[in-house]
Structure 1
Amino acid sequence: MNARIDHLVIAADSLEQGAAWCEATFGVQPSGGGKHALMGTHNRVMNISTVRFPQCYIEIIAIDPEAPAPGWPRWFGLDQPALREAVRELPRLVHAVARTDMIEMLRQSLANCALDPGLPLAVQRDTAYGLLKWRITVRDDGRTECAGALPTLIEWAGAHPCAHLPKTPLTLQELVLRGLPQEALDVLKLPEVLATPVEPANPAPLSATLNSPRGTVMIDAWHAED
């Protein structure tokens, strides 16, 4: 087992908009979070762990209007004009992140499959429980590979966010990744994920199904053709 799904990424125009969308969609509000000085972004997070998806959370992320713009593209494609326009309407699921203790090996193995997961960057943010530190793969252009279906890799140094996030009534039940090359699936070995070809009836690169106080909710990821 090389990697496990760590968190889902929801891009929002602002954290206030993202929190309101969470309440309307799931009946719950995100709690913790903080600022990413390296990328000029900030977030709110909430625990969505299950036995199938242990130590898993949702991240609502937005460009921080109080932070200076970084001198490089922000992660998760947040600077793409089409995505910026889309999230002004409503927040969008854009990506999933997979954790590993072998980030360098998996990154190189994906590169050997002619995929560009990016290079590991060292990132940290302050929390009420201390400093969170991790390494995460980010491409030079800030975009995600395979239209967002190929998970970004993350390697935590020390505590995981879920160690201090309270349990919520929102839980991840299923995650579908579409259109990933078999070679990438062989590298990542994600045991909890359903991998399928791109479906003409649903071209979303990924879809997540969650149980919530508002019932079962399925959200499809944004893609450039929306």
Structure 2
Amino acid sequence: MNVPPLLDHIVIAGPSLEELVGWFRDLTGVTAAPGGSHPVGTANALVALTVGGERRPHYLELVGPDPEREGEALPKLFNIHRLRKPTLITYAAHPGDLDGVVAAARAGGVELGDPQPLSRTTPSGDTLQWRLTQAPPPVNYGLPFLIDWGTADQPGLGELPTLELVSFARIEVNPEPLREATAALGLGDALAEIREGQGSRFELVLRMEDGREVTI
């Protein structure tokens, strides 16, 4: 089992949220629960991730254009405007001292961007607020963005459908540059393992209720 201790959530994005939810349901048998809409023109659906049968503060976010947004332009968040199919884009980590990690990374030559406030409106009409880092372009999606939920409830512990998280890792043809950049965050081995392999991509392994595993 290879689960990053500081994992907050994993992001899968697509050009249509409805089609993304359907794709994930066909793949895993689980229908992601509506999460809500963001002021940046996106909306999401969520699945909680268990580890060894236990609930942890981890979840999977399926994110796409908000069907209720104004205008037809696709949002640029997570490169949604360029995607043609569901794509595992990046992940978020939740360090105890978000501002301190940002400063340490900057001192080590890695720019994560200053923490910014973000929110989403839930299906019940409530507003969920948090802070996260937004790196300036070009964004290295192999690095996690950082998140601080403050007083908000971490979504992975809420009433969501669940799947078991078996492993999560980053694959790189030349892994050393990303390893060096990740090391600058000063979080040790608490982030996703970086392995050498073909292509630059994430590898996510989930276990379904019947024991079968699926790799994304």
Say whether the fold is shared (TM-score over 0.5).
Answer: yes
- 2:44 alignment partner in structure 1: 43
Q: CA RMSD in A?
A: 2.6
Moved >6 Å (runs of 4+): none
Match runs of 1:178-217 below 5 Å = 178=171, 179=175, 180-182=178-180, 184-185=182-183, 187-191=186-190, 193-196=192-195, 198-199=196-197, 202-213=198-209, 215-217=212-214
1:29 shift after superposition: 0.5
C-alpha distance in structure 2 between counterparts of 1:93 and 1:108, whole Å: 27
From 154, 166, 171, the counterpart of 1:160: 154
Q: Is the 8 A contact 1:5 1:53 kept in 2?
A: no
1:157 alignment partner AA: G
State the Cα deviation string for residues 151-199 of structure 1 (Å, max 9, x = none).
111111221112323352x111111124322352361234363232x42
C-alpha distance in structure 1 between counterparts of 2:207 and 2:27, whole Å: 11
C-alpha distance in structure 2 between counterparts of 1:53 and 1:209, whole Å: 17
1:47 alignment partner AA: A
Match runs of 1:117-156 below 5 Å = 117-127=112-122, 128=124, 130-141=126-137, 144-145=139-140, 148-156=141-149
Return closer, same or farther for 1:167/1:15 CA change in 2, 3 Å cut-off.
closer
From 12, 24, 27, the counterpart of 1:25: 27
How many residues are aligned here? Answer: 200
2:135 alignment partner AA: R
TM-score (norm 1): 0.78
- 1:222 alignment partner in structure 2: none
Q: Flag structure 2 segments of 5+ consecutive residues without an equivalent.
A: none
Percent identity over the alignment is: 25
Q: Is the 8 A contact 2:106 2:112 kept in 1?
A: yes
1:43 alignment partner AA: N
Q: Secondary structure of 1:56's partner? A: strand
2:146 alignment partner AA: L
- 1:174 alignment partner in structure 2: 167
Match runs of 1:48-63 below 5 Å = 48-50=49-51, 54-63=56-65
Match runs of 1:44-83 below 5 Å = 44-50=45-51, 54-68=56-70, 74-79=76-81, 81=82
Q: Is the 8 A contact 2:110 2:181 kept in 1?
A: no
Q: Flag structure 1 segments of 5+ consecutive residues without an equivalent.
A: 220-226
